[in-house]
Structure 1
Amino acid sequence: MPRIDVCLAAAVWLAGVCTVIGQAQSGAEWVIVTAFAAACSAPLLWRSVAPLRVVAVIGAVGLIGQLLPTSSLLDGPFLLAFALAIGTAGSSADGWRPVLVVTAAILPSLIVGAWQAEDVGGSVLTVGWLALAFTIGRAIGLRRSYLAVRAANLRLERAREIERELAAERLAIARDLHDVIAQSVETVSMQATIGAHLFDSDPGAARDALLRIRSASTSTSRSIREMLGVMRASDQPSDRLAGLEDLADLVSAARSETCAASFAISGEPRVVDSSIGPALYRVVQEALTNVRRHARASLVTVELAWQPAEIAVTVADDGVGASDDLAEGYGLRGMRERLALIGGRLEIDTEAQRGFRVRASVPTEAVP
């Protein structure tokens, strides 16, 4: 049984005995009061386990006390124990059942006490005292239930928040895999085609194509390792994520026999938030992949512009472009979502037979 119940039972027994100080005259009366207080207090040891049964038992003990010759000395021990019992019942049980049990337990004692004393006023005060104890217990129980429901709702909301975070993380991983694998496969396919075409007529150019394939596969392997390191979320330092300083190599890898690629930087470079570099790198990577897959361009230019309030990167080609009613695929949606996470925006400018232009910008004035 809980230690607090033992302490409360002992305290109620002691308080009940103290209520007759100055009233008990003989040793026999003290023995009766002490024993009766113990009989009323002992059931409180099980108040947390069976509160309604404890109410019934103490009510029965109180009825026996009303039938004893020393009943006037026994009201204090009984009322203290019974008030604590019904307060516990009110806090631990719902509905009308505790009300019915309390009423059935106290009513016989009240009737007998009122009949013996012929004093209805004393019975009314007793009922008021017990009703107050029950009301306090009920209020405690309602607050406990409210806090339990609130805690359950908070746990549920936290679980939903975790699910949303996991879904966002899965989407981010899907975007990264799409960017890395699509770019690598396109590069390998294009360079393999060039190598096979020039294998006999120009072995040197074919060898360069094979070297580009090796470079692309190495870069892809590194990028996948970086993503796996982030997914592990360990405390150990992971490899550096590709960022703005890697754009030159990315553009160089995009060059081919049929499409030239150039890279330029304007403005004064400065330290920016660590999330900006990888995001812009992935945008450029996806844009270059789209150029190779769809543009049929002979030139693609990439410009990194450091402006006072923002940093912007522009990828433009001289390919076939697209119509005004361009339907955004997974790659373009991924660019927008990636930039939105860091407060950036994506601008697309295209016209049939006039090329394709992608501009990604991120504000930097709030970045320390």
Structure 2
Amino acid sequence: MDLSTIEREIQTVIEADKASWIRIYQLMSEVESEKLYENIYNSYTQWVNKIADDMHIHVSLLWRRKKAGAFYAEYQKRMEARGKKVSFDDIERVSPDNLVLAERIAGNNTAIADQLIEKIQQGELKRKDLSSALAAAKRCRAEKGIPDPVNGYDKQKLQEQKETDGAIKPDQKKITAMDIMAALEIYRHWIGEPIEKQGRVPKYKVFGEFAVDSPGTRNARRIDALVAETITAKYPRQIKLHGIEIKVSRSDLEHDDKMAEYTQYVDCFWIAIPPHLVDDAKDLAMPCWGILSVDEEKLEVVRSASKNAEYGIFRDVALSEIIYKLM
């Protein structure tokens, strides 16, 4: 099947019934395994972001289905190795969110993963149970100083990237997220040419870890940095909003499955990265996203952000949050 045919089928499945997540997983897996995106997109992630944008859905909806399917596919392999046949038909009515939660609880422990999947299939574990179990597991890991495990699909992708992840030369200073935040506070040229407005003092303010309530999700999303400015706004009382995601590693770029959703809250969207990740950012970012390169001495605009007509549909939510923070 070619890419355009797969995209049309994904669109049809989503419009008909979002609960039919298994077919979406299968189609996405085919695109990835056959590398059908390569002639048009720089990366699989870029393709996923683009189709989510075209279909006007949260990109995390697609990633959750992909991760849930990959988690169950690994379980299927383990069962077959034991002589037990299981099928995706067995989980047709199971929520992909429950499987994603189960994967996060199990970590690298396949025995726990198998038990969780079986209990989910039998209806013994609901989302509330899994959410509580995950919260308990995270508390336990934090108390013992154990980092959250990287598992399943993410682990596979990290292994594939191990040799290609942004290499830093021994004499090159490692740029941290704090360095990039500091650069955003200091430099303002990256937002574009100033527009003079009679009698108005230009404003520029950076909000770090900016929380916005995301429709369809239970928890607030956090944009790494939100910049509100009047410097490049066309009208005297107009405020422009820039969302900036800060990424300091290739794996961080590759595995952020919520980043594309932040475009709905801002006028322009950017990725800010150390210089050694510029090529990776070009491969993974949507063409309309801006790219900022930050080293210890300067902030450079690699590519300016362009305003997408679909962006900013929830920008009033961001503006309300700004007002609340300043009250």
User: Which entry has the higher C-alpha Rg, 1 or 2?
Assistant: 1
Work out whether the TM-score is over 0.5.
no
TM-score relative to the length of structure 1: 0.18
Relative to total residues, which structure has the larger helix share, 1 or 2?
1
With a CA cutoff of 8 Å and minimum separation of 6, indicate the structure with the bigger relative contact order: 2
